[in-house]
């Protein structure tokens, strides 16, 4: 199957790299987003998200004319839905964006077209939600047009490389749809392309992130146990991992991002009577920020009102600008809500405006009048900090390291009292 024009619905962390990668291969791509600020920004050549290499790729794609940005879809040979799938406060999937995208493209889908859902979704979304919307005009999915599910499986910070090199799962509503999806992604994918059915592909994506979530949960629970027993969880993990069949992950302040912190809930929603381990793991990771706050209270006292805290890092993981579902943001908000005078600095998004989080645009501003320095994300900017320089920038002499990236001995020699998540005593 040949593709001359592709319409990509949603220009976020997955849609924009995908659209630009297709455009870089000489395909005409219509990039569509419902957010007028995103559309205007891209039309003016400004990229609204940070991902290594993305700004250059988008600029080249726009300059070539292969990528055009619109607020409405247009006819194409293939349509890719890459919109967000968040959840409501009760942890139920919010599928409004997927439905809206499917409804928007439905009038343009013609005989022989391919529609791909990339958005991470609960099982049966492709067959149970997208297909019925597209079939309202009288055509049948798998017969008159092709319909597949192909989840993104990339790591923020390495998206452009992994889009091309990672294995790609194509789940069709029938085999001919899966083959059409394979033909589309062969345009740029160098990794293995695996064909299956749509619901299996949906399940694969959820399984991958749920597996990670469960493993992080046990590491986080180990950190709480170590704190209770008065030992160093980082030392215990290092020793345990010497066993050839053990690989315990590192604990941290929680789990964030739009995948691992969200996807397991889709399985809990779909089968609440079965997914008990998955639910418990989610509850452990969702409550980990509370454990960090208790550690801070052990250091500063239970009453945090008026306490001056420099929060270093707001992203959900190191060296990205993605703040979605970030436990660091959650911790900063809770500290501010408890009356602490918070100054948060995110080096990858210094202009971040986050409701409930007082943010500053430089490290020096965050440190200048702090009494406690709280490291929540292991960004390279923080990993490279010299204790002798930090001590000159702040009156703080208390350091709480929630991610084990600060050299404790160096900071102790510089005059800091050092505390680390998962260590039941001062270092």
The domain spanning residue 390 has which CATH number? 3.40.50.720
* Higher pLDDT, residue 351 or 311: 311
7 is catalytic: no
| Same domain, residue pair 414 and 356 | yes
Determine the pLDDT at residue 410.
97
Strands 168-172 and 146-149: antiparallel
Please enumerate in sequence order all residues whose Cβ is within 8 A of that of 273, keeping only pairs 6 or more positions apart, or say none. none
Cα distance between residue 145 and residue 142, in whole Å: 6
Asked if residues 211 and 261 have their Cβ atoms less than 8 Å apart, the reply is no
| Same domain, residue pair 268 and 186 | no
Domain end residue (candidates: 167, 191, 215): 191
| Same domain, residue pair 171 and 34 | yes
Q: Is residue 199 part of a domain?
A: no
Q: Kindly report the backbone phi and psi dihedral angles of residue 10, in degrees, each rounded to the nearest multiple of 5, phi listed first.
A: 105, 120
User: What pLDDT, in 10s, does the model give residues 238-273?
Assistant: 999 999 999 999 999 999 987 899 999 999 999 999
Orientation angle between helical segments 198-229 and 233-240, nearest 10 degrees: 120
What is the span of the domain harbouring residue 286? 229-420
Q: Is residue 206 part of a domain?
A: no
Domain end residue (candidates: 174, 191, 208): 191
Domain end residue (candidates: 163, 191, 219): 191
Residue 122 has pLDDT above 90, yes or no: yes
Q: Is residue 209 part of a domain?
A: no
Cα distance between residue 328 and residue 316, in whole Å: 7
Secondary structure (DSSP) of 182-241 = HHHHTTT--S-EEEEEHHHHHHHHHHHHHHHHHHHHHHHHHHHHHHHHTSBHHHHHHHHT
Q: Is residue 318 part of a domain?
A: yes
| Same domain, residue pair 134 and 52 | yes
Determine the pLDDT at residue 90.
84
| Same domain, residue pair 12 and 89 | yes
Determine the pLDDT at residue 212.
96
Cα distance between residue 132 and residue 207, in whole Å: 25
| Same domain, residue pair 172 and 273 | no
| Same domain, residue pair 352 and 276 | yes
Quick one: which of 78, 100, 95, 85 has its CA closest to 19? 78
| Same domain, residue pair 93 and 183 | yes
Q: Is residue 337 part of a domain?
A: yes
What is the rounded average pLDDT of the residues 230-244? Answer: 98
| Same domain, residue pair 118 and 24 | yes
| Same domain, residue pair 181 and 292 | no
Residue 297 has pLDDT above 90, yes or no: yes
Q: Is residue 43 part of a domain?
A: yes
Q: Is residue 397 part of a domain?
A: yes
Q: Is residue 211 part of a domain?
A: no
| Same domain, residue pair 182 and 244 | no
| Same domain, residue pair 167 and 236 | no
User: What pLDDT, in 10s, does the model give residues 56-66?
Assistant: 999 999 999 99
Determine the pLDDT at residue 346.
96
Secondary structure (DSSP) of 216-228 = HHHHHHHHHHHHH
Tell me what the pLDDT averaged over the chain comes to.
95
- Cα–Cα distances (Å) from 339 to 64, 334, 357, in that order, read 52, 9, 12
Token pair for residue 90? 């009760």
Residue 154 has pLDDT above 90, yes or no: no
What is the rounded average pLDDT of the residues 319-334? Answer: 94
**Catalytic-labelled residue, pool 205, 307, 343, 349:** 205
Residue 153 has pLDDT above 90, yes or no: no
412 is catalytic: no
Q: pTM score, two decimals?
A: 0.88
Asked if residues 183 and 4 have their Cβ atoms less than 8 Å apart, the reply is no
Residue 352 has pLDDT above 90, yes or no: no
Domain count, the chain: 2
Cα distance between residue 405 and residue 401, in whole Å: 7
Cα distance between residue 145 and residue 139, in whole Å: 7
Determine the pLDDT at residue 27.
97
**Catalytic-labelled residue, pool 7, 127, 259, 343:** 259
User: What pLDDT, in 10s, does the model give residues 180-219?
Assistant: 999 999 999 999 999 999 999 999 999 999 999 999 999 9
152 band by pLDDT with thresholds 50, 70 and 90: confident
């Amino acid at each position: 199957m040949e593709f001359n024009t592709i319409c990509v619905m949603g220009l976020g962390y997955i849609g924009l790299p995908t659209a630009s990668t297709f455009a870089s291969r000489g395909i005409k791509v219509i990039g569509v987003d419902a957010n007028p600020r995103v559309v205007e920004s891209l039309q003016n050549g400004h990229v609204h998200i940070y991902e290594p290499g993305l700004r250059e790729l988008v600029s080249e794609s726009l300059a070539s004319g292969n990528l055009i940005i619109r607020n409405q879809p247009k006819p194409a040979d293939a349509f890719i839905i890459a919109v967000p799938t968040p959840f409501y406060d009760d942890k139920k999937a919010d599928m409004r964006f997927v439905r809206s995208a499917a409804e928007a493209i439905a009038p343009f889908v013609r005989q022989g077209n391919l529609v791909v859902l990339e958005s991470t979704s609960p099982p049966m979304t492709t067959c149970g939600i997208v297909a019925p919307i597209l079939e309202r005009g009288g055509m049948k999915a798998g017969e008159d047009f092709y319909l597949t599910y192909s989840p993104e499986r990339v790591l923020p910070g390495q998206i452009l490389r992994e889009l091309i090199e990672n294995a790609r799962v194509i789940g069709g509503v029938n085999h001919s749809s899966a083959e059409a999806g394979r033909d589309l992604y062969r345009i740029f994918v160098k990794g293995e392309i695996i064909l299956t059915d749509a619901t299996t592909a949906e399940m694969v994506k959820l399984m991958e992130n749920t597996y990670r979530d469960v493993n992080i949960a046990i590491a986080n629970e180990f950190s709480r146990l170590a704190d209770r027993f008065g030992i160093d969880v980082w030392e215990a993990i290092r020793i345990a991992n010497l066993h050839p069949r053990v690989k315990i992950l590192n604990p941290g302040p929680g789990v964030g991002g739009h995948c691992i912190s969200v996807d397991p809930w889709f399985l809990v929603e779909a089968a609440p009577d079965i997914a008990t381990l998955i639910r418990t793991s989610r509850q452990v990771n969702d409550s980990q920020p509370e454990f960090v706050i208790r550690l801070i209270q052990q250091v500063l006292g239970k009453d945090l009102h008026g306490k001056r805290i420099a929060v270093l890092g707001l992203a959900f993981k190191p060296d990205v600008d993605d703040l979605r579902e970030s436990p660091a943001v959650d911790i900063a908000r809770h500290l501010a809500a408890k009356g602490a005078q918070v100054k948060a600095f995110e080096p990858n998004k210094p202009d971040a405006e986050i409701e409930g989080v007082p943010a500053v645009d430089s490290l020096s501003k965050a440190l200048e009048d702090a009494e406690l320095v709280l490291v929540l994300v292991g960004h390279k900017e923080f990993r490279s900090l010299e204790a002798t320089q930090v001590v000159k920038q702040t009156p703080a002499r208390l350091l709480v390291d929630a991610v084990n990236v600060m050299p404790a001995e160096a900071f102790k020699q510089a005059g800091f009292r050092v505390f680390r998540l998962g260590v039941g005593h001062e270092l």
